[in-house]
């Protein structure tokens, strides 16, 4: 073997073993497994940063094969397809010194495609739509809960009927916004893996390009045009009975709500830093924001207001340049 390949092979074997161990933990240890299932691509990303795309792909395939020997092949394949590609993309992007935004966009896109591929695999191999299966399980759970309430006699039939209608409406809404939820999940998986990979690389002495401070995050004003078009689509879909437009607008609207909410949080951090709020005060406000619907709406509208009026003047220097 060429001497120059010894180090990549050794590190590849070690990191592949670590990835396999994390996959096994994600399956056999329920509580710890949830977090491990999300971040197991980190060893793949580290290998890609240090030794290149070829080695990260080889490690991903090797991890999948070894995991398939210990688990059901379908489970291992789903884990590799859903998450392994995220590590490959993040590793290559960091190696090429891409900006954090480009890295996140690429990783989110491949993560979304991975989720779709897992759903397609489930449909092809099992002959069942995994999403419909999940919805049926949720519906069955709510039905059992309502039957339990009925057996206690604490609720009238009218109240139980209202609960049932509310549950059915919620499930129908959940089906409609599933693409938006999948998109948010893909971004979340990509962000967690990017941040974890960056943290490990910094511990190893390698500097990685970072996002600007959260208080300086902002959305481009062009997003307001997207919001306006989405509102028109919602009107035609909801009030003119154009079903596809209604579904599309609800998914885009979900993403816009999250984006404006993040912008509002960024504005809050900017103001907290400007007025030197204590950690306790910031903690209380954040707790209320994530637990109280009124505070959530305030943060959302604050983000929308900041996009319109650019209170922090973050876009002004860029325009003048």
How far CA 167 is from CA of 150, 171, 172, in Å, comes to 15, 6, 9
Q: Which pLDDT does position 188 carry in this prediction?
A: 92
Q: Give the C-alpha separation, 306 to 260, whole Å.
A: 9
Q: Which pLDDT does position 317 carry in this prediction?
A: 52
pLDDT at 189 over 80: yes
What percent of the chain is modeled with pLDDT above 90?
37
Q: Which pLDDT does position 5 carry in this prediction?
A: 52
Region 126-139: mean pLDDT is 73
pLDDT at 265 over 70: yes
Confidence of residue 243 (pLDDT cuts 50, 70, 90): confident
Mean pLDDT of the chain: 84
Backbone angles phi, psi at 279, to 5 degrees: -60, -35
14 or 302, higher pLDDT = 302
Q: Got the DSSP string for 180-204?
A: HHHHHHHHHHHHHHHHHHHHHHHHT
Q: Across the chain, which distance is largest between two alpha carbons, in Å?
A: 78
HSE (CB half, 13 Å, CA atoms) of 107? Answer: 32
Domains of the chain: 3-127+180-203 (1.10.1760.20), 212-321 (no CATH)
Q: Got the DSSP string for 225-242?
A: HHHHHHHHHHHHHHHS--
Region 175-204: mean pLDDT is 90
11 or 234, higher pLDDT = 234
What percent of the chain is modeled with pLDDT above 70?
92
Q: Which pLDDT does position 162 carry in this prediction?
A: 83
278-297 pLDDT, tens digit each: 999 999 999 999 999 899 99
pLDDT at 157 over 80: no
118 or 259, higher pLDDT = 259
Q: Which pLDDT does position 128 carry in this prediction?
A: 67
Q: How many CB atoms lie within 10 A of CB 16?
A: 23
- Of 49, 3, 2, nearest to 197 by C-alpha is 49
């Amino acid at each position: 073997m060429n001497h120059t390949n010894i180090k990549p092979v050794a590190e590849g074997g070690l990191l592949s073993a670590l990835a396999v161990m994390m996959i096994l933990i994600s399956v056999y240890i329920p509580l710890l497994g949830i977090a491990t299932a999300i971040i197991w691509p980190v060893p793949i990303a580290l290998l890609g940063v240090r030794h290149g795309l070829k080695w990260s792909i080889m490690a991903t395939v090797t991890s999948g094969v070894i995991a398939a020997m210990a688990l059901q092949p379908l489970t291992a394949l789903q884990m590799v397809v859903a998450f392994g590609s995220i590590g490959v993309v993040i590793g290559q992007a960091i190696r090429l010194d891409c900006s954090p935004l480009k890295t996140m966009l690429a990783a989110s896109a491949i993560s979304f495609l991975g989720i779709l591929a897992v759903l397609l695999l489930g449909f092809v191999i099992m002959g069942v739509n995994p999403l419909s299966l999940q919805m049926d399980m949720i519906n069955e759970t709510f039905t059992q809960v309502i039957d339990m309430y009925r057996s206690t006699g604490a609720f009238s039939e009218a109240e139980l009927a209202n609960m049932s209608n509310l549950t059915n409406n919620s499930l129908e809404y959940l089906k409609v916004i599933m693409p938006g939820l999948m998109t948010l999940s893909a971004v979340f998986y990509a962000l967690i893996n990017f941040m974890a990979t960056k943290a490990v690389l910094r511990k190893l002495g390698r500097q990685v390009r970072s996002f600007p401070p959260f208080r300086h995050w902002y959305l481009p004003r062009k997003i307001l045009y997207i919001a306006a078009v989405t509102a028109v689509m919602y009107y035609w879909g909801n009030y003119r009975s154009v079903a596809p437009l209604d579904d599309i607008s609800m998914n885009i609207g979900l993403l816009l709500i999250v984006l404006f909410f993040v912008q509002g949080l960024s504005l809050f951090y900017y103001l907290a830093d400007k007025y030197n709020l204590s950690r306790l005060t910031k903690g209380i406000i954040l707790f209320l924001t994530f637990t109280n619907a009124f505070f959530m709406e305030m943060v959302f509208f604050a983000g929308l207001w900041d996009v319109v009026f650019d209170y922090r003047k973050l876009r002004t220097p860029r325009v003048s340049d």
